Amino acid sequence: MNLYLILALISAVSMASSGVIARLSGLAAAELTFYRLFVGALCLGALVLLLGKQTELKQKPDRRIVLNGVLLASFMLCFLKAISFISLANAIMLVYLAPALAAIAAHFLFHEKLDLASGLLIALSFLGFAMLQQFKLDLVLTEAQWPGFVYGLLSLITYTGFLLANRHSGKSESPLQRAFYQLIIGAFCVLPFLNAAPLPNTNELLWVFLAGFFPGFLAIYLAIVALEHLPTRVFGTLAYIEPVAVILAGWWLFSETLSPLQLGGVAMILLAGLVQSLLHQQQKPVQADLQHRPQA
C-alpha cells in the first residue's frame, strides 16, 4: 500500500484516540484541547531536535500557516461549544460533513477531479458514518439549540478550511515546520478558554502526554504530510476511519454493544476506504505515464 495512504490511516486512528483519552482521563474539554495542541507541539519539537533539523523551525511562519493554526483550534473549540447546546450525534454529523465538503470544494478550487466513482465512495463513507450514529438526529431544533447548530456549522467550515489549506499549502516549507507552528498557534488560541484551569496533577500527567502525542502530534503531523501527497477525495474517504476506530474502541475497552446497523456502517466505511485507495493506486501509474509520454 502507498506510504501516504498508511499515514492517513494512522492519522485517523490517532485522532480517534482523543475520545478514549477524554473518557478515561476526566480532563475538561478545553484543557484536553490545549494539552493536545501544546504537548503535541513539544513532541514535534523533540522530533525536530532528534532529526537535527532545528534550522527548519527558525523559518518564520507565513500567513497561511498562522491561518491553519487558527483553523485547527477553531474547529476543535467550535465543536466543543456545539455539544453544549445540541446532541453529540447532531454535532458530530455536522463536523463529519467536512471531508465530503472538502473533496467537493477541491474539485472546483484546485481542479482535483471528483469523478462519479470517487464521489459515490465518499457518499458511501458518510452513509456508513450515519449508520454508526444509528441515524439519531434531532431534526427539529428548539430556540435554545440554535446556537449549537451555528457552532456546529462553524466547526464544519473551519475543519473543511483546515483540510483544504493543508492540501494546497505549498511545498516550499517543511511539513515539520508547518505542523509545529500550527500546533503551537492553535494552543495559544485555546488559552483564553481555559478559565484559570489548574496545572495537571501527578495522576493526570500520563493522560496529558498521551493527548499530546497521539491525537496531537501524531494525528496532526501525519495528516499534514498525507494531505500534501493525497488527493482530498482520498484523504476525505479515509478520514471516516476515525469514527470507526472510536466505535470499535468503545466496544473493546468499555464493553459497549454494537448493533447490526453499526456493524454495517463499519463494513461500509472500510469497504469505501479500501476501494478509494485501490482506485488512487491505479490512477497514479496512468498519470505518471501521461506525464512522461513524448509529445507528438
Residues 93-103: what's their mean pLDDT? Answer: 92
- Locate cell 476543535: which residue? 76
- Locate cell 504537548: which residue? 39
CA-CA distances (angstroms) from residue 6 to 133, 164, 195, 198, 222? Answer: 26, 20, 38, 38, 10
Q: What is the DSSP string of 240-272?
A: THHHHHHHHHHHHHS-----HHHHHHHHHHHHH
Residues in Cβ contact with 95 at an 8 Å cutoff, skipping those fewer than 6 apart: 75, 79, 152, 155, 156, 159
Q: What is the pTM of this model?
A: 0.89
Residues 51-58: what's their mean pLDDT? Answer: 90
Give the distance, in angstroms, between the CA of residue 58 and the centroid of all CA atoms in the same chain: 27
Domain boundary assignment for the chain:
3-287
Give the distance, in angstroms, between the CA of residue 246 and the centroid of all CA atoms in the same chain: 13
Residues 170-180: what's their mean pLDDT? Answer: 80
Model pLDDT, residue 170: 59
H or E stretch at 164: helix 146-167
Contact 166, 223 (CB under 8 A): yes
Phi and psi at residue 144, in whole multiples of 5°? -70, -20
Structure-block grid coordinates of residue 55: 534550522
Residues 178-207: what's their mean pLDDT? Answer: 90
Contact 132, 262 (CB under 8 A): yes
Residues 177-192: what's their mean pLDDT? Answer: 94
* Helix, strand, coil fractions of the chain, as percent rounded to 5: 75, 0, 25
Model pLDDT, residue 288: 47
CA-CA distances (angstroms) from residue 93 to 20, 122, 214, 219, 272? Answer: 19, 14, 23, 20, 18
Residue bearing the bigger pLDDT, 161 or 170? 161
Model pLDDT, residue 287: 52
| Interval 58-95: pLDDT, tens | 888 888 899 999 999 999 999 888 888 888 778 888 89
Model pLDDT, residue 285: 58
If we measure between CA atoms, which residue out of 140, 160, 148, 141 comes closest to residue 95? 160
Model pLDDT, residue 9: 96
H or E stretch at 85: none
Model pLDDT, residue 45: 95
By mean pLDDT, which of 199-208, 259-268, 282-291 is the weakest?
282-291
